[in-house]
Amino acid sequence: MANVDISNIDSLSFVRVLLKEEIPIILMSSRRNEIFSWRALVEGACFFLEKPISFDDLKYVWQHSYIYKRRSKTQLEDARKPEQEILLNRGNISQVDAQVHIFDENSVKESQNACNMEQHLVMANDQIQEQGGLIKTKRSLDDDRGGEKKRNLNSDNENSNSFMVPTEEKGKEMNENNNGHVKKKRKPRIVWTSELHLKFIEAVSSLGDIKARPKLILQKMNVPGLTQRQVASHLQNYKARVRQISDNVIRDLSSNTGSLQTLERIKPSVVGQPTLNSNDFAAAGKTQGAGTVQVENASGISSNVANSGKSLKQFSEGNQEVKAIAVLEPPAASSVNAGKSAYAALLKFLDEDEEEIRAGLGGELKPADLDRYCEWLREALMEKSEHSE
DNA sequence: CCTGAAATAT
DNA sequence: TATATTTCAG
């Protein structure tokens, strides 16, 4: 699954490279561009999804991958054309329209309320240190001097949350030294537990990269005490991480295929906002799915290199793995020998929630169980939002 | 409201 | 030392 910048026609070359390897490719974008999607589909892309991606989009993505994989090359040639569909508006696939959009505003909001995140939030409270009266930094000096934009750090509105685990007791927010001067306590740093991160991921995924801004994310996460700046900071780090991994994948892919060299050269500094990938999206629902990592470079081109990792194997029969998996598995001598290291990092990144996923599935699934799996997925997600009532 | 940077904390 | 988070400032 590749997140592409439809404004950059060169993104199409990325599509070609993957297709040359017979890797089914599904494109995603936050914006829509009929021309671009049309061209991509003509090239052979399976789908073109508009983000944010819905649960139903994923469901059909899976089925498509499976079907695709079962066909022989020749059959594929014939089948490709007919199977292509433009999914500019999710729901273009007839049957999904009526289905519940798991990650719509309400369900997310609800599920979030229930999860008492506070229990999972842990502040590194031990480190709260006094800034000894002697130690003065530029800032402390400035503050002592004028303190214009004094923040209500000491007010108990956001520092009194249980997960903020105050060092001592609340109310002792101010410390006085022998001079009677009041000092600010540095707010204890937040710990992004997997649960918290999960909420973050869910929020971002449901918003889509365009709207995934700190304020909205914070709002969707609905975690008391969490500040917008913290979310912003986390978002920034997250983006950087995804970007780096993606860059590596692209780099390795380029160096081994040659076809992507053009893309690599165009890649100065990264701009644009990496979007949340479907892997996170899937992970958020405690499901596993075709994970993707976004790749993007300054030229505006961006792509998500699909991954499926172990989870995907559950859908494979015997040795017949979906072609896309082959890319992530130790490449067969004959196939792409691209980026083992990059894939390793990618897999590690994507496997973070492996356990939860596995627990949820409870057992191996066979391709034939796809629908059952989807049903399970739906129920799991629904259940989650119900409990939160 | 956002984010670059400095200051800090890990 | 390298990263991550909080604060400041614009």
Taking alpha carbons only, the member of A11, A34, A43 closest to residue A304 is A11
Mean pLDDT across chain A: 54
Q: pLDDT tens, A210-235?
A: 899 999 999 999 998 899 999 999 99
Do A303 and A251 meet the contact criterion of CB atoms below 8 Å apart?
A: no
| Alpha carbon distance A103, A326 (integer Å) | 30
Question: Looking at A60-69, A207-216, A248-257, A378-387, which range is the least confident one?
Answer: A378-387
Which range of A88-92, A152-156, A242-246, A247-251 scores highest in mean pLDDT? It is A242-246
Question: Looking at A93-102, A182-191, A215-224, which range is the least confident one?
Answer: A93-102
- Which CA-bearing residue is nearest the C1' of B8? A186
| Alpha carbon distance A57, A102 (integer Å) | 11
The nucleotide whose C1' lies nearest the CA of A143 is C8
The nucleotide whose C1' lies nearest the CA of A236 is B3
Residue A170 CA to nucleotide C10 C1', Å?
33
The nucleotide whose C1' lies nearest the CA of A231 is C5
Protein contacts on strand B: list nucleotides below 7 Å from a Cβ. Answer: 1-4, 6-10
pLDDT surpassing 90 at residue A178? no
pLDDT value at position A226?
Answer: 92
The nucleotide whose C1' lies nearest the CA of A233 is C5
* Of residues A139 and A36, more confidently modeled: A36
* Of residues A362 and A96, more confidently modeled: A362
Q: What's chain A look like in SS3?
A: CEECCCCCCCHHHHHHHHHHCCCCCEEEECCCCHHHHHHHHHHCCCEEEECCCCHHHHHHHHHHHHHHHHCCHHHHHHHHHHHCCCECCCCCCHHHCCCCCCCCHHHHHHHHHHCCHHHHCEECHHHCCCCCCCCCCHHHHHHHHCCCCCCHHHCCCCCCCHHHCCCCCCCCCCEECCCCCEECCCCCCEECCHHHHHHHHHHHHHHHHHHCCHHHHHHHHCCCCCCHHHHHHHHHHHHHHHHHHHHHHHHHHHHHHCCCHHHHHCCCCCCCCCCCCHHHHHHHCCCCCCEEEEEECCCCCEEEEEECHHHHHCCCECCECCHHHHHHCCCCCCCCCCCHHHHHHHHHHHHHHHHHHHHHHCCCCCHHHHHHHHHHHHHHHHHHHHHCC
What's the whole-model pTM score? 0.48
Do A121 and A193 meet the contact criterion of CB atoms below 8 Å apart?
A: yes
Residue A254 CA to nucleotide C3 C1', Å?
29
pLDDT value at position A241?
Answer: 84
Residues facing strand C, Cβ within 7 A: A 139, 142-143, 148-149, 151, 153, 184, 186-192, 229-230, 233-234, 237, 240-241
Residue A189 CA to nucleotide B9 C1', Å?
8
pLDDT value at position A21?
Answer: 72
pLDDT value at position A69?
Answer: 55
- Which CA-bearing residue is nearest the C1' of C3? A237
Residue A212 CA to nucleotide B7 C1', Å?
28
pLDDT value at position A370?
Answer: 52
Which pLDDT band holds residue A386 (cuts at 50, 70, 90)? low
Residue A237 CA to nucleotide C1 C1', Å?
19
pLDDT value at position A16?
Answer: 82
* Of residues A200 and A329, more confidently modeled: A200
Q: pLDDT tens, A325-340?
A: 222 222 222 233 334 4
Q: pLDDT tens, A101-122?
A: 222 223 333 333 333 333 333 3
Residue A233 CA to nucleotide B5 C1', Å?
13
pLDDT value at position A44?
Answer: 83
Give the residue-averaged pLDDT of A257-283.
35
Give the residue-averaged pLDDT of A28-38.
85
pLDDT value at position A310?
Answer: 26
Q: pLDDT tens, A40-91?
A: 888 888 888 888 887 777 766 666 656 555 554 445 455 444 444 433 333 3
Do A201 and A274 meet the contact criterion of CB atoms below 8 Å apart?
A: no
Indicate left, alpha or beta for A225 from its phi (over 0: left) and psi (-120 to 50: alpha).
Answer: left
* Of residues A33 and A5, more confidently modeled: A33
Phi, psi of A191 (to 5 degrees): -110, 120
- Which CA-bearing residue is nearest the C1' of C5? A189
Which range of A26-30, A81-85, A241-245, A265-269 scores highest in mean pLDDT? It is A26-30
Which pLDDT band holds residue A182 (cuts at 50, 70, 90)? low
> pLDDT > 70: what percent of chain A?
31
The nucleotide whose C1' lies nearest the CA of A191 is C5
